Chain A
Amino acid sequence: AQSVTQPDIHITVSEGASLELRCNYSYGATPYLFWYVQSPGQGLQLLLKYFSGDTLVQGIKGFEAEFKRSQSSFNLRKPSVHWSDAAEYFCAVAPYGGSQGNLIFGKGTKLSVKP
């Protein structure tokens, strides 16, 4: 069965430090891959997505993610974290060629930022 694993439930980093949030997926073929951010009282916002092509994807707010087929991973990175980045981050996959509505989400990683 398809699944998405985010191994880290909660991560705390200092402001200005680099960040990497891990995401691994289990799927028979290369799926569509997404990272969303959820802030309290706000809807999930798409940070970036990977469909095909360059495996390093640039997103909004200075985030990037790298697709590694050999590791079935799609880790999210940011070189310098800002206090406003504190939120919950979700990795998601959708079947290749299928509807984006059939998103399978990971359980999320909560990011806290220390001053």
Chain B
Amino acid sequence: GAVVSQHPSWVICKSGTSVKIECRSLDFQATTMFWYRQFPKQSLMLMATSNEGSKATYEQGVEKDKFLINHASLTLSTLTVTSAHPEDSSFYICSAITRAGGTHSTDTQYFGPGTRLTVL
């Protein structure tokens, strides 16, 4: 099946610094990518949707200036956590689908393995 990778798999940073997380679709072109956040013992929460070549759409309550998303190519999306603070520590997961909008029944969302962010 299709593979989505994330880099790094884990990162520790100091409070106030910025961290970039990469999400790549390895063997398919992803017109749409999604970014999720998962807290311990909690479900995944959708943060934003990004379509290649356009601005990301953020979910309510997600600060777009803090979580910068760039989807510059059909195989790469990046999430930058700017001026990270301890409360931003979490597990960030990306996913990708091939069809924009993902409404067709044959579309499948492929998930990356996640990135563990710890802010000291």
Taking Cβ atoms with an 8 Å cutoff, the residues of A that contact B are 4, 9, 36, 41-46, 51-52, 90, 97-108
Binds A, one of B14-22, B41-49, B73-81: B41-49
Contact of A51 with B111 at beta-carbon distance under 8 Å, contacts A43-B93, A90-B44, A101-B97 already known: no
Residues in chain B near residue A41, CB distance under 8 A: 9, 113
Q: Tell whether B34 is near chain A: CB-to-CB under 8 Å.
A: yes
Residues in chain B near residue A104, CB distance under 8 A: 43
Residues in chain A near residue B107, CB distance under 8 A: 100
Residues in chain A near residue B9, CB distance under 8 A: 41
Pairs across A and B, CB under 8 Å, 25 listed: A36-B111, A41-B9, A43-B4, A43-B93, A43-B95, A44-B44, A44-B95, A52-B105, A90-B43, A98-B103, A99-B102, A99-B103, A100-B102, A100-B109, A101-B32, A101-B49, A101-B102, A101-B109, A102-B46, A103-B46, A104-B43, A105-B43, A105-B44, A106-B43, A107-B42
What separation, in Å, do the CA atoms of A90 and B68 have in the docked complex?
A: 27
Residues in chain B near residue A102, CB distance under 8 A: 46
Asked whether B43 lies within 8 Å of A45 as measured between CB atoms, the reply is: no
Contact of A43 with B113 at beta-carbon distance under 8 Å, contacts A99-B101, A101-B102 already known: yes
Q: Which of B60-89 contact A (CB under 8 A)?
A: none
Count class of interface residues, chain B:
20 to 34
Residue of A at shortest CB range from B101? A99
Closest 6 CB pairs of A and B: A43-B111, A105-B43, A100-B102, A44-B111, A105-B44, A51-B105
Residues in chain A near residue B46, CB distance under 8 A: 101-103
> Closest approach, in angstroms, between the C-beta of B91 and any C-beta of chain A?
10
Secondary structure at chain A's binding surface: helix, strand, loop or mixed?
loop
What separation, in Å, do the CA atoms of A105 and B37 have in the docked complex?
A: 11
Residues in chain B near residue A107, CB distance under 8 A: 41-43
Question: What 10 new A-B contacts, CB under 8 Å, besides A105-B43, A107-B41?
Answer: A42-B113, A43-B111, A44-B93, A45-B111, A90-B44, A97-B103, A99-B101, A99-B102, A103-B44, A108-B41
> Closest approach, in angstroms, between the C-beta of B38 and any C-beta of chain A?
9
Asked whether A4 lies within 8 Å of B97 as measured between CB atoms, the reply is: no
Residues in chain B near residue A4, CB distance under 8 A: 43
